Amino acid sequence: MVVEGIWTGEIYGPYGWENNGVYIIENGLMLGGNNRHYSAGRYSVSGTEFEAEIFSYYYGRPRMIFGEKRERIEILLSANVEDDVIEGTIRRPDRPGFGVLFRLTKRMDLPGSEPLEIVEQPKSRSSGQEPDSASSPA
């Protein structure tokens, strides 16, 4: 499985799966963020096993995660890759017994010599319906 691409992240919280941002995975680097944090780290893939060490930095008010609010968090991600989904657990190295479910969904391949391929057309979050391509400007 080629993991290089643009992915969306989700974290499992008290209300189910929550958006956790957009991530670019390429050449051993994982970079991303959302409207409250940015992250940078390194990853490796062996077969279907995906491992990453990520440093997340919050700007503005830090979010409660792992039982406390911190501006900088080191995270270890241990996951499995299946098709276009990487799903596993994130943990802090200083609290290895406490993990949170995390998943990444591949949205598109990275630009290169091949034409761009969108992996999945996301559904509109407001209506839950597919975007209407007929009403899109040409």
Read off the pLDDT of residues 62-90 as tens digits, 9 standing for 90 and up: 666 766 778 888 999 999 999 999 999 99
Q: What is the pLDDT of residue 53?
A: 98
Q: What percentage of residues in the chain have a pLDDT greater than 70?
A: 77
- In this prediction, residues 103-122 reach a mean pLDDT of 75
Structure confidence at residue 46 as a pLDDT band (50, 70, 90): very high
Over residues 48-62, the pLDDT tens digits come to 999 999 999 988 776
Return left, alpha or beta for 27; rule: phi > 0 is left, psi -120 to 50 is alpha, else beta.
left
Structure tokens at 95: 């609290």
DSSP state of 62: P
Q: At a CB cut-off of 8 Å and minimum separation 6, what does 100 contact?
A: 11, 12, 65, 66, 89, 90, 91
- In this prediction, residues 3-11 reach a mean pLDDT of 96
Q: CA 12, CA 9: separation in Å to the nearest integer?
A: 10
pLDDT greater at residue 42 or residue 97: 42
Contact 21, 11 (CB under 8 A): no
What domains can you pick out in the chain, each with its CATH number?
5-111 (2.40.128.380)
Instruction: Using alpha carbons, select from 38, 40, 43, 78 the residue that is nearest to residue 60.
Output: 38
